[in-house]
Structure 1
Amino acid sequence: MLATASQLVLRNIDDLTGNVLLVEPLADNLATELQHLAPQLTLSCYSTDAAVAASWSQDTVTLYRDVSPVFSDSFDTVVLFYPKSKEQLAFTLAQLKPVLSATTAVFVTGDNKGGIKSLSSHAQKLGLSANKLDNAKHCLWFALHGDFQQLPQAKAVSFDITAAGETLTLHSLPGVFNHGKLDIGTALLLDNLPDIGKGKVLDFASGCGVVGAMLKRKHPAIELFCSDISQLAVKATELTLAANGLNGTVIAADGLPAQPKQFDCIVSNPPFHTGIKTDYSIVESFIRDSSARLSSNGSLTLVANSHLAYLELLQQAFKKVSIVAKANGFTVYRAS
């Protein structure tokens, strides 16, 4: 099964030549299709998403997963999938500067609902130009031109917050959830964290690491683990923990990390989107898997938009579920 943006890549396959780098593509079968339809191409993939990286992990594809990758080759063609976060486009292009030469053909594809319609004006602000080449399947295909070397090197944003009686320094990167600010839901969660003095504690979907950092600050004896599907979030969490002098293990994982096998407490502001689409299967799997991975006296604490039907999902997986707090359209649940 191919996402529509990936189908548009195949529709314009004649634009691809030589060494081809696919940047932040989707978790589908595009790699297999490209190998079948254009075996003469040499494929590489750069993705900071653990699920995407898994789908592109093939013997015939060179995979780059680090936030700041060290590329082993130059590329004739680069295909960039338009990110949900506009700030991430400039960040990603800056990471690609070592392999963007004057002869590299750069294309951008994306779903109309994902904001790619504004690429021309977005590119202009970056000192680049974007020419629309194709429009099909509610997606667009652009050629991107300009001096990519003039793009400033993107850096993490640092900012301080005060919540739950503590002050923390947070670091964030473009593409991380609520980049550069504390969202309302997480703020409510920080004021209603579980009181856990020891044990293995997981901050799931850690984002910039604010929840994990607050848990470790308030309960220094816990063994902290933080996980996120995004390498960008993993890096931001590592920077946040270091900035506050806190220790924790940070893991890139699609779903709950494989290790440790059991947790005493899981805390999360879980995602309910895959890309731009609402995807409840993520949180359904998270709740079900959390129930199986918690110790006998363990608990799950999560925050969610109040209109989402999380109470029923929690009650299906846990014996005891309570509403800890409600404010500003968000609800904090605790299940054990």
Structure 2
Amino acid sequence: MPTSPGPRDADAALDILFHPFATGALQWPREGGALFLRAREGWPLHARPLPGLIAEQSYKPAFDALQRSGIDVHGEDVDGTFPLVLVLPPRQRDEARALFARAVAQAGANGTVVACMHNDEGAKTGQAELARLTGPVNVLSKQHCRVFWTGARVLDSALLEQWRALDAPRLVADGTLHSRPGVFAWDRIDVASALLLRHLPTDLAGEGADLGAGIGVLAMDVLARCKGVRSIDLYDAERRALELARRNLAAQANVGFHWHDVTQGVSAHYDFIVMNPPFHAQSRADRPDLGRRFIEVAAQALRARGRLVMVANRHLPYEAVLGGHFAQVRMLADASGFKVVEAVRA
């Protein structure tokens, strides 16, 4: 059953994205519907009828919120053209450019692309980028955000094709990993994961899981170095990352892939869990509650004497929750601003 929308001030960019429709500067299409890329749930989606709206969101918590509210939401690429394409662009430049190019392509010859960004997240740059593709854009500013939309098209077709390719999966890390712009640490192995890899116990065995697996870096190393491992399940909230993990672990037969919000718990049980838990969601603000919840979920999912091996920022206060859920906790490494911890269930 649909849930009620959230508070009016929860998401300024989402709010201002719909401001041109509220003022009459733009009209919602009478037919043909609208595509909303990187959609987020919030009161503007329910303030007035939006016939034919199709949302797309690859981040599972946001996908789930849209689905609960009754929005027609898809987790992967929606095909077709629409008279209106709405966009909440990401921060990463190549990913944003590719998304702008896709939005313009899916708006067809006569459709309108409408985007909104917070000023602190590159709104001025985003406006300029869309204008590079389509010619001059219209713009309104409110609540420290800019909403901008296409007018008469002066399309740069060559640039559009160039930008559409920017988000394509590619080999990184000396050709050893498939990745793409926008996923966490997309073009390298991040410092925290590298530290965990250097101190990963090689005697992990049985059935395991990687919570917040990203593109599969930790799971690949576990399978390569821990000969007693029979299987490993990868959980990640970002579908784009999980699809890359499928590529990176395609040669492995004993791997499961789960597009899942780990904070909601996992139903399976494991002999070991490895993880580099997130410490922010879709914002830059620290979210130590996410890491604490990952630890709680890991403790619930581990069998008796099950082992958790994790890495985290040194300053994040996880010791209390580790001590409250595990019989043994020991530091394996402390370097470069990160700590590697092993914890054992009673």
1:292 to 1:258, Cα distance in 2 relative to 1, 3 A: closer
2:51 equivalent in structure 1: 41
Superposed CA offset, 1:80-138 (max 9, x none): 112132222133345556522121111111222323332244446x6455646222222
1:235 to 1:130, Cα distance in 2 relative to 1, 3 A: farther
2: CA distance between counterparts of 1:20 and 1:193?
A: 48
Matches within 5 A, 1:25-104: 25-26=39-40, 28-30=41-43, 33-35=44-46, 37-57=47-67, 61-66=71-76, 69-71=77-79, 73-96=80-103, 99-104=106-111
1:296 to 1:60, Cα distance in 2 relative to 1, 3 A: closer
Q: Partner of 1:12: helix, strand, or coil? A: helix
Matched to 2:214, the amino acid is G
Matches within 5 A, 1:1-336: 1=7, 2-14=10-22, 15=26, 17-18=28-29, 19-26=33-40, 28-30=41-43, 33-35=44-46, 37-57=47-67, 61-66=71-76, 69-71=77-79, 73-96=80-103, 99-123=106-130, 127-129=133-135, 131=137, 133-144=139-150, 146-147=155-156, 149-150=160-161, 151-153=163-165, 154-160=167-173, 169-220=176-227, 221-242=229-250, 245=252, 247-255=254-262, 260-276=267-283, 277-336=285-344
2: CA distance between counterparts of 1:320 and 1:16?
A: 61
1:265 to 1:223, Cα distance in 2 relative to 1, 3 A: same
Q: Partner of 2:117: helix, strand, or coil? A: strand
2: CA distance between counterparts of 1:262 and 1:107?
A: 45
1: CA distance between counterparts of 2:331 and 2:120?
A: 34
In terms of fraction of residues, the more strand-rich structure is 1
2: CA distance between counterparts of 1:50 and 1:92?
A: 19
1: CA distance between counterparts of 2:301 and 2:314?
A: 25
Q: CA deviation at 1:58?
A: 5.6
1:40 to 1:108, Cα distance in 2 relative to 1, 3 A: closer
Query: Structure 1: where are the runs of 5+ without partners?
Result: 162-167
Q: Rg larger in 1 or in 2?
A: 2
Superposed CA offset, 1:7-49 (max 9, x none): 21343334351212221123x334xx433x3215321101111
Q: CA deviation at 1:180?
A: 1.2
2: CA distance between counterparts of 1:256 and 1:40?
A: 31
1:165 equivalent in structure 2: none
Q: Partner of 1:270: helix, strand, or coil? A: coil
Q: CA deviation at 1:140?
A: 1.8
Query: Structure 2: where are the runs of 5+ without partners?
Result: 1-6
Superposed CA offset, 1:246-285 (max 9, x none): 6411111111686552111111111111212322221121
2:4 equivalent in structure 1: none
Matched to 1:155, the amino acid is A
Cα RMSD of the aligned pairs, angstroms, is 2.6
CA contact (8 A) 2:266 2:301 kept: no
2: CA distance between counterparts of 1:196 and 1:29?
A: 47
Superposed CA offset, 1:46-94 (max 9, x none): 111111111111686332212xx242x5322111112132222133345
1: CA distance between counterparts of 2:329 and 2:194?
A: 21
Identity of counterpart residues, as a percentage? 23
CA contact (8 A) 1:205 1:269 kept: yes
Stretch moving more, 183-192 or 279-288: 279-288
Between Structure 1 and Structure 2, how many residues are aligned? 321
